Amino acid sequence: MFTNKYIFIYASVMVILVAAILSSASMVLKPFQEANVKAEKIQGILASANIVTDRAAAADTYSKYVVEELAVDSKGNVVSVFKNNTLEKGELRPFDINLKIQNNLKKELAAGKTEATPVWPIFVMEKDGERSYVVPVLGIGLWGPIWGNIAFKSDFNTIAGATFDHKGETPGLGAEINTSWFEAYFTGKTIFDENGDFVSVKVVKGGVSNSNINPAHGVDAISGGTITSNGVSDMLKDCLENYVPYIEKNK
């Protein structure tokens, strides 16, 4: 029969041992996890511009097509430039900008809780002699975060491609936002109307043809995925409007 003291010491040693093993494993695996996250982010950026690559070749493919990274503020000023593997302006590489932090900062600024200015990344790409611009987007779906990348043609108005993903939307319903057929709806849509006003792109319940939305600025919602579809609409409006001052300055 083991004494209570023995059981307590044995349990304590096992807890400490397991904790040490898990901690060591976490430290060893962390660089690989970070590399996978970076590669996945790169794949999303490239995929929105219709460039497919695997994780192993992601970094090289990115360097081939992304000629410049920019970060712009709410007034459309370029505050950071990363080019030729060098941070030429600013203190933070645009690729490393955390969109969640910037979105929260935007809300705090609007509420008068901070004077700090959020910044937004732009990935300038060149493919087959054509320049395009990719911007990341982040929002909220039915069960958690949704995100993606929107690629624009050289006019920074016409969508050249889009990718979306989610953390836990309902399979067969809201989860359909990351399918190629839904993403394809956005190609060719524009975010400014004929007067040059920002209108974004709206995901329309019941279909664009049954609404008063101009087809140039709307796509059909996912059947049965209303809340997620609304989340995509809100995400696009809230995120793309951040770039309007920069676009207007550089028309």
Contact 46, 95 (CB under 8 A): no
pLDDT > 90: percent of the chain: 76
Q: Which of 19-23, 67-71, 95-99, 247-251 has the lowest mean pLDDT?
A: 19-23
Q: Which of 27-41, 59-73, 175-189, 220-234 has the lowest mean pLDDT?
A: 27-41
Average pLDDT over residues 73-82: 96
pLDDT in tens, 29-61: 556 556 677 889 999 999 999 999 999 999 999
Q: Which residue has the higher pLDDT, 172 or 140?
A: 140
Answer yes or no: pTM beyond 0.75.
Answer: yes
